[in-house]
Structure 1
Amino acid sequence: MADLINFYSTTDFDISNQEEYRLWLLSVIKSEQKTLGELTYVFCSDEYLLDINQSYLQHDTLTDIITFDYTEGDSISTEIYISIDRVKENAEEFGVDFEKELKRVMAHGVLHCCGYKDLTQEEKDLMRAKENLKIELFHVEQK
């Protein structure tokens, strides 16, 4: 499974318990009746992600996540870029710990690959509810 779920960083950030995260992400995918293709997470800075946002999406804004979805059928495959700077700032703003906000964003990317959107308020509400459910899977899977 280590070759199917990979974590890279362009900063000094590193997930120390990678195997726990891999098991959790697999449970997130299975909970949506999907299968694992290949997941790649790249943890980066605001500047790195802004450059991707400008170059590939023509957006000139900071964001916490960009997901490149390569999913085919029910097999989830994606490259997910996450700004650690944004996750830290959002955790402070929302009054949650960093790790919980990181899990929210990581699950968010996978949920997009499962077909969930977040353009309308109704879609955003469903996405947030799904994120919360997926975060709880981490605690269940690790017991």
Structure 2
Amino acid sequence: MKLDCIMLIDDDEATNFVHKMVISQIDCAKEVVEAHNGQEAIDYLKERAGKQPQPELIFLDINMPVMDGWEFLEEYEKLDEDQKGGIVVVMLTTSLNPHDREMATKMGVIHDFMNKPLTKGMLAELIDRHFGNSAQ
């Protein structure tokens, strides 16, 4: 069994391309959705409320135009439960700032904090940790 949907929230097309390739190699999702900033992601989640597939895993960048990762999280926490879906949120960033990692770990909505790029090993470990055998 695979996840129904993984969402990438990142404004960098090359990064999204690489991450989609890694997800495809692991073959762990039926669908991958891209949002190029936090606002696009919030709009998508609101629009998809109660519909399938809702993202089960979100990879969130910090630095993006329009609405960055932190602003996305503020808006995400205001969503109704049916708009959030059963979502595991992973901050995936190039930030080496210890403050960013510390902030992310204090937020209950963030399940993991990882540095880009996503690798097959990182993804497999993440899927196993948060979804167990249900994603295999």
Specify which structure has the higher proportion of helix. 1
Greater RCO (Cα-Cα under 8 Å, separation 6 or more): 2
Instruction: State the TM-score, normalizing by the size of structure 2.
Output: 0.33
Kindly name which structure, 1 or 2, has the bigger radius of gyration based on alpha carbons. 1
